[in-house]
Each structure stands twice: as C-alpha cells, then as structure tokens.
Amino acid sequence: MLHAHDIAAIVLTLQLAAVSTVILLILGTPLAWWLAHSHNRAKPLFEAIVALPLVLPPTVLGFYLLLAFAPDSPFGQLWLSATGHSLAFSFSALVIGSVLYSLPFVVQPLQASFEQLPVKLLEAASTLGADFKDRFFSIVLPLSRRSFITAASLGFAHTVGEFGIVLMIGGNIPGKTQVLSIALFDRVESLQFQQAHILAAGLVVFSLLLLTVVYRINKPTVLTAARQS
C-alpha cells in the first residue's frame, strides 16, 4: 500500500521532528526562562524575534537560509570547514530550518508557564540551600511539566507539518530530504492521488491525535494563553 519512498519519507520526517524537538527544548528552555524573568528593555524585541516565524511566510526564512547555506557564503564555509560536508540539501540543513521555524511553538508555552511559577517558592528553596540545578529539577520541572509536554508536542507536530521552508531548501532528495509534506506534494503534482490520499489522511489523523493529547493533558486555558501571548 505504501511505496518505499513514502515509508522513507515518514521515517525521515519523524527523525527530523524528533531531533528538532530535542534541540528546541535544549535551546528554548533557557531562552523562555530569560524571557519570563528578564526586565531588560530589549525583551520585547527578543519576544518579537521569537514570534516572527508565526507571521512571516516560510518563503522569507527559506530564501535567507538558501543564501546562508550556499558553500560560498560565510556560514556555509564555516559549516564546510567544521564538518567537511556542504550544508545545502542535507538533513542538518532541514534541522536548522525546523528549529528556527518551530521556535515560537516551544518557547511561548514554556515562557507562559515560567511566568506563572510562584517566585516565593523558588526564593524559599534558595534560602534552604537548594542550588540552581536542585530548584530546576525539584520545582520548575514538576510545576511546568504540562507546558514542557505541550511545547514538545507542538514543536514536534509543527515540524512534521512544515512545508514551505523544506520546499525551498530541501531539494526533494528521496531518503535524504524528501519529508512527508514534500512527498505528498510530489504525489499530488504528479497526479498520484491514491498515494496522496494515504499520506494526507495519515497526516490528518496523526496531527489530530497529537493535538487531542495535548489539549487533554492541558487545561485549555493554558494552551490558548500560550498561543495568544
């Protein structure tokens, strides 16, 4: 029923989403923490930068990334000399694109959650001698558990659903950069509606399930607040 190319695309998409989500959590957590607690005058600017992918067409990011990834650009050269591989049309390129594009979906729920943490509790823990690591793992993480799950799920789902950037920087290489949304596009464009239906319906069901889980474990208000902030 599923062609080998489609299966390769599904595996690749899940890999991309998993790697991107892990990186997003690692980068997004300190960023969200800083945004939640900083009184810096430049904070709104950084919040705006994080939110940019929500409003910009993916083609904007795709265009700049395409220029940045070229082997003769400064960034492309740096990557080439550091890794020995050209960045353009590689899995790494897709990861970079996905991390940038899904950043608000991870940072915003975390920031909203961190802002609601009781400061007094953290201060009390501090006076009792808990260091930063203790406070993070004993207080912040348990209290924000739901937001972490939300952030990870949204980051994952959004990466699975990514299309515009990958279309511009991926190069549609089966097994290497042909993710699910591109494989589906390919099927539609070449009039293979049968296979297109399987992929499209699969994505609908998958996304619906994932989002239902997210809404189920969350009080709806938290998620909507996070999306609106």
Partner 1 sequence: MRLILLFIGCLLASHSWSGSAHIAVAANFKLTLELLQQRFQEVSEHQLIISGASTGVLFNQITHGAPYHVLLAADELHPHKLVQQGYGLAASRYTYALGQLVLASRSTALATADEHFIRQQLSQAQTIAIANPKIAPYGLAAQQSLSHLQLWQPLQGRLVRGNNISQAQQFLMTGNVDWAFIPLSPLLAEQGISYWPIPAHWYQAIRQQAILLQSGQNNSAALAFMAFLQSDDALAIIAQQGYRLPERP
| Cα angle, residue 31 at apex, residues 169 and 56 outer, rounded to 5° | 40
| Cβ at position 192, least distance to partner 1 in Å | 9
Residues 6+ apart with CB under 8 A from 108: 32, 50, 51, 226, 227, 229
Which residue, 89 or 215, has its beta carbon nearer to partner 1? 89
| Cβ at position 205, least distance to partner 1 in Å | 25
Cα 186 to chain centroid, rounded: 24
Written as one letter, the residue type at 229 is S
CA atoms within 13 A on the CB side of 82: 7
Which residue, 84 or 129, has its beta carbon nearer to partner 1? 84
* Distance in angstroms (rounded) separating the CA atoms of residues 92 and 151: 22
Which residue, 46 or 91, has its beta carbon nearer to partner 1? 91
Which residue, 34 or 89, has its beta carbon nearer to partner 1? 89
Q: How far is CA 32 from CA 82, 102, 130, 135, 215, in A?
A: 29, 14, 22, 16, 21
| Cβ at position 70, least distance to partner 1 in Å | 4
For the chain, the helix, strand and coil percentages under 3-state DSSP, each to the nearest 5: 80, 0, 20
Which residue, 89 or 136, has its beta carbon nearer to partner 1? 89
| Cβ at position 64, least distance to partner 1 in Å | 11
Q: Which residues bind partner 1 (CB under 8 A)?
A: 66-67, 69-73, 76, 86, 88-89, 167, 171-176, 186, 188-191
Which residue, 88 or 160, has its beta carbon nearer to partner 1? 88
* Distance in angstroms (rounded) separating the CA atoms of residues 203 and 128: 49
Cα 83 to chain centroid, rounded: 23
| Cβ at position 15, least distance to partner 1 in Å | 16
| Cβ at position 34, least distance to partner 1 in Å | 34
